[in-house]
Structure 1
Amino acid sequence: MERSTFYGKYGKRLLDLIIASILLPVFVTTILLIAFLLLIVSGRPVFFTQERTGLNNNNFQIWKFRTMKCDKAQQGKVKSWKGGVPEQFVFKQSQDLRMTGIGKLLRKLSLDELPQIINVLKGDMSLVGPRPEVPEITTFYNTEQARRLYVKPGITGLAQINGRSNIPHGRKIFYDIDYVESCSFALDLKILMRTIRVVLSREGAY
């Protein structure tokens, strides 16, 4: 279950609503422009939706701008694991042939994540938390790894400001569980501020 602190119960959701309500009008022009460019350059669909595992192992539909080609035959399949997801497992690859030209740019600038502001407003996600993983991976979590599901997934988090796609699964789990145990208003503000620097530097983004 989610942390039982006052901030975890009430403050975190209030912070999400306030900031997301400010961000949506600010970025609405950017979102519309990106959608238009994707439609012209890459075609339909403009948005990519996918089932992800959220708080307490409940699934939801995440929204992103589509950055890959519409070729389901090329999509990778996750292997079956015993005893949990391997520590060195890496889901993303820096050279993915499915990526479109404009998709690479959107990922480098982290603009593909903008539609997730809607997920935050709906309550599926938080601004800060572990990144939402696909059920094909979370199904194989061991007891320790499953602890990252005790809080809502976030657009950004400790793992995102400490390496993003450059770190293996085991390291991400370490940061995610650290966040679950240390979640606070001060920590969320710190992560949000550091996220701005990480996004601008484009470190670990692909």
Structure 2
Amino acid sequence: MGIGPELARRSAPTHDTSDGHRSVPRRQWQRTYLRSLAITDTTIVVTTVVLAQGAGTMIGGPVDPGSSVPQGLASAIVVAGLWLAILALNGTRKKPIVGSGEEEYRLVTRATLQTFGLLAIASFLVDSFATDLDTIRVYLLLAMPVGLVVLPLGRRWCRRSIERRRVRGEFRTSVLVVGSEHAVDAMVGSFVRDTSAGYRVVGVCTTGYTGESERTTTVAGQEIPVLGAETDVINAVKLSGADTVAIAAGTHWGNGDIGELAWELEPYRVDLVVAPGVTDIALPRLSMHPVGGLPFVHVEEPQYRGSHRLAKTTFDLACAVLALTVAAPGMLVVATLIKLQDGGPVFYRQERVGLGGNVFRMWKFRSMVVDADRMVDAVRTRTGQDDATFYKSARDPRITPVGRFIRRTSIDELPQLFNVLARDMSLVGPRPLAVGEGEKIPGFVPRRILVRPGMTGLWQVSGRSDLSEADRIRLDLFYVANWSMVQDLLIVVKTVRAVLAGDGAY
């Protein structure tokens, strides 16, 4: 090849970030980050178990006076060790998982539930496993719920710290993207949209490269050097100093070619990742199954039925009852203000399309003038949104002064909690479509109505009303295809944060 691997590593260019900081090598910052995760997990687990054991002792947990080591301490060590071991066995600190958000939280939650499930089973099967059943109950009642909340928060704290470093240009992965021009543009665009993932594209190798020097391509406003064709990957790695090669869909390589490239990259300590060619499919729905030496990506069906639907229904009803109980006094004040403003009705009701295409009446606090629906065509024309799938404008003249406040704070949505109790809506889901809305988009409505519409959803926490129409459609369909309880919980938390910040609401 002309240069040996060691010389290539020494001569590969180092990169300065946009603010002048020199990039930390990927393997170095990954080791540092994984070490901080291990320390955070261990601290949380040990502290949670010790506090739970202490609480159990205070309320009468027995201690064996004949033992050289207090039996309570021994059981705490066993529980903490088991918890940490199951976190490791679930792969919660694997490099592809850490910092991935929903999947990382899902695995941490699953490991915690597995730990205490095993404890509960062991307490019945082995009489001498712990002090007694009371000790196990203390762990189940105290340590488990605390762990389910604090462990994901610890991961979130670590993730936020690395995101802040990435904003400053640190802790990034230098990527060389390989594939057809269209596939390369799509992959680079994904990296640009998800800046928190920390991928910095340092070059591309495309099918259409014909050897011209100093060629560049512009994607999402970024100018990226074209370093060669698909067969020039090794030389491009040496030129760019990339520490990861990403193979986009649409390459002309055979199955053996990618395997051969992995061997060629190994001496340079460069990672190889391959896009499977499926988009907008969440990781829990993907699994790898080898068949005759070929890796097949299996895409599981969306989870709409059985225990998953029961869990979502329970979550919706419990949260709706709690929210209505807490918000009732404030809702009474808002209703009074709306009535005093112009004497019109307090609530606004509109027919929307729900689960299975059934039409229902959605409730909101009225934020517009009386008979606003009769003015919608004229307002659409005035704001230049005649052909828009979703109509929403910050300059809508129909909005009243009180309405502007309750829209900005999302208080106008609170009556939809009654729709949740009536099972017309869910707490989280795609926003309910008006009758006839979205019918011009092929396949959009049939997929949207596979789940109940929600009070909040993915696009509401990804920019709210400031998102483009294309992004709203994409995020709605992504939610339908990849629903999970962990995702719902994250959306609820992000919704509260977005409402308090007043981001993108009008």
Q: 1:25 aligns with which of 301, 305, 325?
A: 325
Structure 1 portions without partners, runs of 5+: 80-85
The answer to whether residue 340 in structure 2 is matched with residue 34 in structure 1 is: no
Secondary structure, aligned partner of 1:150 = coil
**Residue 44 (structure 1) aligns with:** 344
Do the aligned residues in 2 keep the contact of 1:46 with 1:65 (CA within 8 Å)?
yes
**What is the root-mean-square deviation of aligned Cα atoms in Å?**
2.1
The answer to whether residue 443 in structure 2 is matched with residue 173 in structure 1 is: no
Q: State the alpha-carbon separation in 2 of the partners of residues 127 and 100 from structure 1.
A: 27
Using structure 1 for the length normalisation, give the TM-score.
0.89
What one-letter code is carried by the residue in structure 1 that aligns with 2:468? P
**Residue 134 (structure 1) aligns with:** 434
Moved more, 32-41 or 142-151: 142-151
Q: 1:109 aligns with which of 401, 409, 427?
A: 409
**Residue 193 (structure 1) aligns with:** 493
Q: 2:483 aligns with which of 183, 187, 191?
A: 183
Q: State the alpha-carbon separation in 2 of the partners of residues 21 and 73 from structure 1.
A: 34
What one-letter code is carried by the residue in structure 2 that aligns with 1:76? D
Of structures 1 and 2, the one with the larger relative CO (CA 8 A, separation 6+) is 1
Runs of 4+ in 1 over 6 A off after TM superposition: none
Secondary structure, aligned partner of 1:152 = coil
Cα offsets for 1:50-93 (capped at 9, x unmatched): 000111211100000001111344122799xxxxxx7x644101
Cα offsets for 1:146-196 (capped at 9, x unmatched): 312211000000010011111232211111111112111111000000001
Q: State the alpha-carbon separation in 1 of the partners of residues 476 and 495 from structure 2.
A: 15
**Residue 99 (structure 1) aligns with:** 399
Change (3 A) 1:148 1:127: same
Higher radius of gyration, 1 or 2: 2
Deviation at 1:36, TM superposition (A): 0.7
Using structure 2 for the length normalisation, give the TM-score.
0.37
Do the aligned residues in 2 keep the contact of 1:42 with 1:100 (CA within 8 Å)?
no
Secondary structure, aligned partner of 2:360 = strand
Count residues in correspondence.
198
Cα offsets for 1:117-163 (capped at 9, x unmatched): 00000000000000101013144342145312211000000010011
**Residue 69 (structure 1) aligns with:** 369
**Residue 82 (structure 1) aligns with:** none
What one-letter code is carried by the residue in structure 1 that aligns with 2:398? R
Deviation at 1:20, TM superposition (A): 0.6
**Residue 284 (structure 2) aligns with:** none
Cα offsets for 1:29-64 (capped at 9, x unmatched): 111111011111132211000000111211100000
What one-letter code is carried by the residue in structure 2 that aligns with 1:114? L
Structure 2 portions without partners, runs of 5+: 1-301, 381-386
Q: State the alpha-carbon separation in 1 of the partners of residues 427 and 350 from structure 2.
A: 18
What one-letter code is carried by the residue in structure 1 that aligns with 2:481? E
Do the aligned residues in 1 keep the contact of 2:390 with 2:437 (CA within 8 Å)?
no
**Residue 66 (structure 2) aligns with:** none
Secondary structure, aligned partner of 2:361 = strand
Change (3 A) 1:77 1:126: farther
**Residue 316 (structure 2) aligns with:** 16
Q: State the alpha-carbon separation in 2 of the partners of residues 56 and 146 from structure 1.
A: 8
